Amino acid sequence: MFRLAVQKSVNGAFTAFYRAFHATAVADAKLTVQQLAEKVDLKGQNVLVRVDLNAPLAKDNVTVTDDTRLRAVVPTTKFLLDKGANVILASHYGRPKGEVIETGKNGRLNPVVKPLESLLGTSILKMNDCKGPEVEEAASKLTTGQVMLLENTRFYAGETKNDPELSAALGKLADYFVMDAFGTAHRAHSSTEGVTKHVKLAAAGFLMEKELQYLQGAVDDPKRPLMAIVGGAKVSTKIPVIESLLEKCDSILVGGGMIFTFYKALGYNIGASLVEEDMVDLATQLMKKAEAKGVPLILPTDVVLADAFDNDANSAIASVKEISGDWRGLDIGPDTIKLFQTEIEKAKTIIWNGPMGVFEMPNFAAGTNAVAQMLATATQEHGAITIIGGGDSVAAVNQAGLGDKVSHISTGGGASLELLEGKVLPGVAALTEV
């Protein structure tokens, strides 16, 4: 999978949107790090900050190949350091499932230390654990403006089970907690939700606040017309999102492998294309619901076919009604790209989650790349608010070099989806109310 990214700079559209939705209900109801600093003199105080340091590594398991997530940590951390706080950073890394792993994508956080020190402009005290007497003693000896980094929280199986003992152990390290890992906010883990029960105040960091304002603002009070572009391989993961967006959107464009489940529901031959047989009835219901609500649910009219799941496979362009045999659809076709462009040009707020095809293969990336360019153009030339909210679509935008041309790139795929569905995120709900 490609990497998530955070937009480093913002444009005029972002500024207008940020101001317009600064009072968004979810974000506004919770304490922010700015408000925390106004309520409490943080000088010399320990502040535990939950961040996301899942930076990708090179094959040497040491070199960070993309520091995007590390850069996302900087604004909140520097703000707290400027206030004289001692910052204790906590993060998981990969999925070690309770096992201590020395190196690799599921291992220790050592590889991020030097890049993070460079970004923060200060040294970091790296611990070999995230709890226990040694960690507590080190935390108690921190002096004004120091940064401590705890070890991978998922070295303890209790992290993902929201273990009360681990939550309490983390809470012992600081009086205040800042949640700035939006990508994990949809999970009630010890370091995201449980720890809030063991501190005086729990606040949202700048990254978390920005995510809530953008995503919640986009669906609660958008600049209309509001469009959603939904792609990806499986319709099963996106049906709840589409159902929710039908209540809010003026139109929905659908792409990716999921389209063949819809075509199956329409009675089309889909050849060897991906299909979720157990989702066909739900796809039918979804189309009927969209029609009843008068919300256009726009499916591709043509696709790029291949005779194998391979970048070098033989390929052809066909109408969606002309798929047969062992051919499979791996991308949207040129007529669909033109159709989508016409629709996108009408929208003022656009949420995109999921690629249009198998964009990891260059020969089947045209549809995804075209949509990325359309959103960049909509933002830069038409003043549309464009929000990219899923891992692969985020990767596509960045791969095309357009990350700074859209309004907002979300750092949380699953969290973004659940917020768009209207769900309450545990990592947000647990923060102190104002």
List, as one string, the DSSP characters of 332-394.
E-HHHHHHHHHHHTT-SEEEEES-SS-TTSGGG-HHHHHHHHHHHHHHHHH--EEEE-SHHHH
Among 39, 114, 161, 234, the one annotated catalytic: 234
- Over the stretch 301-347, which tens digit does the pLDDT of each residue have? 999 999 999 999 999 999 999 999 999 999 999 999 999 999 999 99
391 is catalytic: yes
pLDDT at 25 over 50: no
Name the strands in the sheet holding 201-204, side by side, starting at the edge strand that comes first in the sequence: 124-126, 147-149, 86-90, 46-50, 176-179, 201-204
CB 24 within 8 A of CB 191: no
SS3 204: strand
pLDDT above 50 for 33: yes
Check residue 390 and give its pLDDT.
Answer: 67
User: Please, what is the end-to-end C-alpha distance for the chain in angstroms?
Assistant: 39
For 214, residues 6+ apart whose C-beta sits below 8 A from its C-beta are 17, 18, 21, 387, 407, 408, 410
- Whether 391 has a binding-site annotation, put simply, is yes
CA distance 386 to 135: 43
Residue 198 and residue 167: Cα distance in Å, rounded? 7
Strands 408-409 and 349-353: unpaired
Topology given in CATH for the domain delimited by 22-211: Rossmann fold (3.40.50)
What is the arithmetic mean of pLDDT over 13-18?
35
Which has the minimum average pLDDT: 232-236, 268-272, 414-418? 414-418
**HSE, side-chain direction, 13 A CA sphere, residue 55:** 26
Is 268 within any annotated ligand binding site? no
Catalytic residue among 84, 145, 383, 414: 414
Q: What is the pLDDT of residue 181?
A: 94
Is 137 annotated as ligand-binding?
Answer: no
CATH 3.40.50.1260, the chain: domain bounds: 22-211, 222-421
Asked whether residue 154 is marked as a ligand-binding residue, the answer is yes
State yes or no: is 59 an active-site residue. Answer: no
User: Which CATH number is associated with domain 222-421?
Assistant: 3.40.50.1260
* Residue 311 marked as a ligand binder: no
Look at strands 315-319 and 302-306 and give their pairing: antiparallel
Annotated binding residue 94: yes
Q: Tell how far CA 108 is from the center of its chain.
A: 23
Residue 392 annotated as part of some ligand binding site: yes
The first and second tokens of residue 407, run together, are 């309004």
Supply 383's token pair.
Answer: 């003043």
Which residue among 391, 403, 412, 427 is the active-site one? Answer: 391
Enumerate residues 6+ apart whose C-beta is below 8 A from 139. 46, 86, 88, 148, 172, 173, 174
pLDDT for res 12: 36
How far apart are the C-alpha atoms of 425 and 182, rounded to whole Å?
9
Residue 45 amino acid letter: Q
Predicted pLDDT of residue 328: 97
Return the DSSP state at 194.
G
158 is in an annotated binding site: no
Active site residue 71: no
232 annotated ligand binder: no
Strands 385-388 and 251-254 turn out to be: unpaired
According to DSSP, residue 184 is labeled G
- 60-91 pLDDT per residue, tens: 999 998 887 898 899 999 999 999 999 999 99
pLDDT the model gives residue 27:
52
Q: Are 232 and 392 in contact (CB under 8 A)?
A: yes
Say whether 269 counts as a known binding-site residue: no
pLDDT class for 21, splitting at 50, 70, 90?
A: very low
What percentage of the chain reaches a pLDDT higher than 70? Answer: 93
Phi and psi at residue 226, to the nearest 5°: -100, 125
pLDDT value for 4: 31
Helical pair 413-420 and 206-220, crossing angle rounded to 10 deg: 40
- pLDDT (tens digit per residue) in 366-414: 999 999 999 999 999 999 999 988 667 888 888 888 888 999 888 777 7
Q: Are 150 and 134 in contact (CB under 8 A)?
A: no
Query: What are the phi and psi torsion angles at 305 (to 5°)?
Result: -100, 155
Q: Flag whether 431 is marked binding.
A: no
Asked if residue 18 has pLDDT above 50, the reply is no
Lowest mean pLDDT among 31-35, 45-49, 237-241: 237-241
Q: Residues 144-171: what's their mean pLDDT?
A: 96
Q: Give the β-pairing of 328-332 and 302-306.
A: antiparallel
Instruction: Decide if 348 contacts 294 (C-beta within 8 A).
Output: no
Report whether 390 belongs to an annotated binding site.
yes
* 69 carries an active-site annotation: yes
